[in-house]
Chains A and B, each alone.
Chain A
Amino acid sequence: MAAYMSAGRSANAFSTHDFVPEWAQEEVSTGTTIMAVEFDGGVVIGADSRTTTGAYIANRVTDKLTPIHDHIFCCRSGSAADTQAVADAVTYQLGFHSIELDEPPLVQTAANLFQQMCYRYREELMAGIIVAGWDKRRGGQVYTVPMGGMIVRQPVSVGGSGSSYIYGFMDSNYKPGMTKEECLHFCTQALALAMERDGSSGGVARLAAITEEGLERRVVLGHQLPKFSNT
């Protein structure tokens, strides 16, 4: 069975066969929590690290933050295979385009390439992607390309099955004009909350800050994640 980092799925292709047990035919509602925040001078992106096949955690230290170019990353949610394949294709296209133009690519271009592919193959793919990065023209930008292939730029975006639990936190705690450190703290808290509530998100919290200078990656291990009292 394929490994998923997704947020729910419709009818399984094998559902009509009898030689697969009932539990393996269950709807796969596995998970991810991914997010990205713009700030003046760059973006902060974050994700959990759990990949599941059914109830089994196939990888508990997954890196869902994938580089597409020097200053452009994507956060992957959905089918692991689908998102890896799309990310590889876009990485190639963007690299080629950048060499043709003889300048670093725009985040908008990367996001559009994802959108083109996700929309064209919307029936076959299960991929919810957040594209985030920095370019010289418009600074830090976050573009969300959810399943179905729409594209919209947002100052802050969350995705994956764990995102449902943190919309409230995001809406009440996000403020425009945060610094990089404030964004990192905001992301850590949001991911911790989602990972606590969503069974399909967990492991460690991976974060990255992308600015003109380059990339800074952080990992917040399980025991270091903020704890929230709920008793």
Chain B
Amino acid sequence: HVGSKLDDGVGYDLSASTFSPDGRVFQVEYAMKAVENSSTAIGIRCKDGVVFGVEKLILSKLYEQGSNKRIFNVDRHVGMAVAGLLADARSLSEVAREEASNFRSNYGHNIPLKYLSERVAMYVHAYTLYSAVRPFGCSFILGSYDQDDGPQLYMVDPSGISFGYWGCAIGKAKQAAKTEIEKLQMKDMTCRELVKEVAKIIYIVHDEVKDKAFELELSWVGEVTNGKHELVPKDIRVEAEKYAKVCTTTTSLLHGISVTWVQNNSTFKVFFPHFMVTN
């Protein structure tokens, strides 16, 4: 690994308390690699709410449907979608819950999302300062809806920075997902319209060849849910998935070969080891 080793073989990448000669903290970068190994999660903010979509890869047929959740409730009005090491993400969701709860207990109202994400980001950042601990190997997207601030979306990564977004993606297909998100006019959309688009993006970026089966976890918070963060109801999710499947036509023949194309764009991917599939 370029730059991570001294002449005498002792690396700059062994602890988070060491900078490399070109000013990088390798442990934090390695933590971000862990996030990139995980399946994709996206969050998009629209005019009256926030929608999360997570591509949950099914590693075993024995998994109970709906288990291994990647989307958490942090407070009534705040949701959190994660990517990366799930155990790290779960412990951070507890940290976020405590922050939100303490805020409400001290100040008597809903925690503003900007403040919550800064507090949790500060916590994540603390683990990038010492050699005795490792950084958190997960990124997460926080979303909330509140009468006064409206919909808010923030993302925190392992380095401990947090930014506000209209749309963001984390995980293995984040680049492809970001490209899709950029095409949307989310500021003019409602949650109901956005749910379908989020489902579509997850279906588009899912790599059928490498990753086989997946379960789509969808959640939202907004005017449509009266400010409560919850999983999208089954009927709406089913409708969204149907829309997603229609848009990304998958002709899965005997060996799961798929043809997908990206709308409004002339690029398309075709896999045809044995069959030529046209549409």
Q: Which residues does A use to contact B, with CB under 8 Å?
A: 97, 100-101, 106, 108-109, 111-113, 115-116, 137
Instruction: Please report the C-alpha to C-alpha distance between residue A113 and residue B107 in the assembled complex, in whole angstroms.
Output: 6
Q: Which residue of B lies closest to A100 (CB)?
A: B115
Residues of A with C-beta under 8 A to B164 = none
Q: Given that A100-B115, A101-B112, A101-B115 are contacting pairs, would A112 and B107 also be in contact in the complex, using a CB cutoff of 8 Å?
A: yes
Q: How distant is B106 from chain A, measured CB to nearest CB, in Å?
A: 7
20 CB < 8 A contacts A-B:
A97-B107, A100-B115, A101-B112, A101-B115, A106-B109, A108-B108, A108-B109, A109-B107, A109-B108, A109-B109, A111-B108, A112-B106, A112-B107, A112-B108, A112-B109, A113-B106, A113-B107, A115-B108, A116-B106, A137-B148
Residues of B with C-beta under 8 A to A100 = 115
Total CB contacts across the A-B interface at under 8 A:
20
Interface of B is mostly: loop
Q: How distant is B150 from chain A, measured CB to nearest CB, in Å?
A: 12
Residues of A with C-beta under 8 A to B148 = 137
Q: Which residue of B lies closest to A143 (CB)?
A: B108
Residues of B with C-beta under 8 A to A115 = 108
Cβ proximity bits B93-127 to A, threshold 8 Å, 1 near / 0 not:
00000000000001111001001000000000000
Residues of A with C-beta under 8 A to B108 = 108-109, 111-112, 115
Residues of A with C-beta under 8 A to B112 = 101
Residues of B with C-beta under 8 A to A108 = 108-109
Instruction: Please report the C-alpha to C-alpha distance between residue A109 and residue B106 in the assembled complex, in whole angstroms.
Output: 8
Q: How distant is A180 from chain B, measured CB to nearest CB, in Å?
A: 25
Instruction: Please report the C-alpha to C-alpha distance between residue A107 and residue B148 in the assembled complex, in whole angstroms.
Output: 14
